[in-house]
Homo-oligomer: A and B are copies of this chain.
Amino acid sequence: MPIVTFSALPARQLFPGAAGHYAHTAHLTVGEVDLAAGATVPPHAHPHEQLSYLLAGRAECTIGTETRELTPGMCAVIPGAVVHSFRALTACRVLDIFTPVREDFR
């Protein structure tokens, strides 16, 4: 039965202080990402649509030219090809969802 426990998957180091556990399904990639306080995901873009749902902590998300603070239960919607970045204001955990699959993360 297809049940994923993210913490049991190998971690992928993304940037200093930022590592994620990723699972891939038919059409989705989902990752539980932990960021240390102050860690940043620098501006980047990809063709995949992305949702970033804050599970714990506080973070700042910039999409295009706008920056907003996220607290748990808030979700950033990042359309494909739009430049975005992320900064952990405290240690935080984020659930990142991509479609289509991030083949580069397999």
A7 to chain B, nearest CB (A): 6
- Please give the number of chain A residues whose Cβ is less than 8 angstroms from any Cβ of chain B in the complex: 35
Question: Cβ of A19 < 8 Å from any Cβ of B?
Answer: no
Residues in A lying within 8 Å of B, measured CB to CB:
1-7, 23, 25-28, 30, 32, 49, 51, 53, 55, 61, 63-64, 66, 68, 70, 73-80, 95, 97, 99
> Chain A: interface secondary structure?
strand
Shortest Cβ distance from A72 into chain B, in angstroms? 9
> Are A2 and B77 within 8 A (Cβ)?
yes
Q: Which residue of B lies closest to A25 (CB)?
A: B77
The 3 closest A-B pairs by CB, nearest first: A2-B77, A1-B66, A4-B75
